[in-house]
Structure 1
Amino acid sequence: MSMITLGVEDLNRSVAFYQNGLGFPRQGDEENVAFFNLNGTWLGLYGREALAEDAQVSAEGSGFNSFAIAHNVHSEQEVEAVMQTALDAGAELVKKPQKVFWGGFSGYFKDPDGHLWEVAYNPFTWIGPAD
């Protein structure tokens, strides 16, 4: 089982974004960390400074982090709907959902801490749990 852990500036704001805004199911109610079960992986939220300290790296940094988290859905309409849900919850639009060079449909947003998320529909291969 894998888990993606994001360092966040304001844990309460990020929990509200992911739990209330995007509807991710939170597991437990720990005070200084939050976990969400995402059908095959986990998302963890942890204070940016504390996560950097744990990894023994500097917490300073900005710009592109060299990765994006992808959320795959079943249709172009679902890409649009998920993107709107994220924007309504406070995400920043980076790339409007559109047809892409490889034949799919996707768009990008940033969460409140600037983490880059792609919302994508791949008509050729389903990437997700079995239906």
Structure 2
Amino acid sequence: MTTTSEIIDFRAETDDGATLHCFREGHGQPLLLVSGLSGTAGFWTNIAATLGRSFEIIRFDQRGIGGSSRGEAPCDIERLARDGLAVLDAAGLDRAGCRRSIMETGGHLFPVSRPDIFTASVAEWIGEL
């Protein structure tokens, strides 16, 4: 868990050779924010600053967009979900909540496919604040 308000820039490597540009900020329980398809981490900039008061925010540029490279594998929803797992691994996290944008991507697969990793939705946590 970070205890700083600074934004930390890091990279996540995937099994097909993509490098994902990632950011972490805030403090508290980890929360992965996933932008829509073709989205960047910048989608979450304003809300990340607010949520970072209560959560450790992890966000990233989708593959082939912004500072992330494309990789070699065909891009499908399951691949995008695996990208989220790679980001958490690179951040050194073994559990996190997950919130995706309205533009559905692999984020909807995270809680269903890996309930051992994804602990709650952001709506559940915000209700606790």
TM-score (ref. length: structure 1): 0.30
Q: Greater strand share, 1 or 2?
A: 1
Higher relative contact order (CA 8 A, sep 6+): 2
Higher helix share: 2
Largest Rg, 1 or 2: 1
State the TM-score, normalized to the length of structure 2: 0.30
